[in-house]
């Protein structure tokens, strides 16, 4: 089945490639932290590879090609971030990973909105699961830095932290899949 929705097509292509960038970045992040933190970050990397596989399944269903431009662009970004984790200290990799994950949450719910605009609901469950997993990642990274003296400054400068998020998902009071399209409408 072919679909004509340029915004959805672009979002799927970007998400597919951005998941690779995130996985690459987490390889460096895991390599730069203490032993007890490595396993959690390695699991997050595996989640990103899994999301990439799931997005590709959806793309194939609608004959949406992988973007070579995004693959190259995000590949370079991911490898650059991966390397930088070894030189920028402990705080910034956690902060920017959390900030990135915060935005990624809505990526999957916006995809759901776009699919719904085409009358397609069959991807709701997987998009919901990926969006919630991204929220879990955001919460994990924020938890790691919540006591840092740098957090208030970075939160003010980059508009993400304890008081600000780029999504409206609350893991304590999750909407069920059936009403989850109410997330990320802004």
pLDDT tens, position by position, 130-180? 999 999 999 999 999 999 999 999 999 999 999 999 999 999 999 999 999
pTM reported for the whole predicted model: 0.94
Residue 5 in this model has a pLDDT that exceeds 90: yes
Model pLDDT, residue 100: 92
- Please give the pLDDT value at position 186: 77
Give alpha helix (H) positions in 32-90.
35-61, 68-84
**Rounded-to-integer distance, Cα 35 and Cα 89, Å:** 16
- Per-residue pLDDT of 62-103, as tens digits, reads 999 999 999 999 999 999 999 999 999 889 999 999 999 999
Tokens (6 digits) for 100 = 């990135």
**CA 120, 122, 128, 130 torsion: positive or negative?**
negative
Q: Which CATH architecture has domain 6-182?
A: Up-down Bundle (1.20)
User: Given this model, what pLDDT does residue 12 score?
Assistant: 98
- pLDDT tens, residue by residue, 23-50: 999 999 999 998 889 999 999 999 999 9
């Amino acid at each position: 089945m072919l679909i004509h929705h340029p915004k959805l097509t672009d979002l799927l292509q970007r998400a597919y490639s951005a998941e690779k960038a995130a996985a690459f970045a987490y390889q460096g992040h895991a390599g730069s932290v203490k032993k007890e933190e490595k396993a959690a970050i390695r699991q997050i990397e595996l989640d990103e590879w899994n999301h990439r596989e799931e997005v590709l399944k959806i793309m194939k269903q609608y004959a949406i090609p992988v973007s070579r431009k995004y693959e190259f662009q995000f590949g370079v970004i991911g490898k650059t971030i991966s390397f930088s984790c070894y030189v920028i200290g402990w705080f910034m990799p956690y902060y920017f990973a959390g900030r990135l994950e915060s935005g990624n949450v809505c990526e999957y719910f916006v995809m759901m909105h776009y699919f719904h605009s085409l009358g397609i609901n069959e991807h709701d469950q997987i998009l919901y699961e990926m969006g919630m997993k991204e929220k879990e990642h955001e919460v994990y990274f924020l938890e790691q830095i919540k006591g840092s003296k740098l957090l208030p400054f970075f939160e003010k400068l980059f508009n993400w932290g304890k008081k600000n998020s780029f999504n409206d998902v609350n893991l304590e009071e999750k909407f069920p899949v059936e009403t989850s399209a109410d997330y990320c409408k802004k």
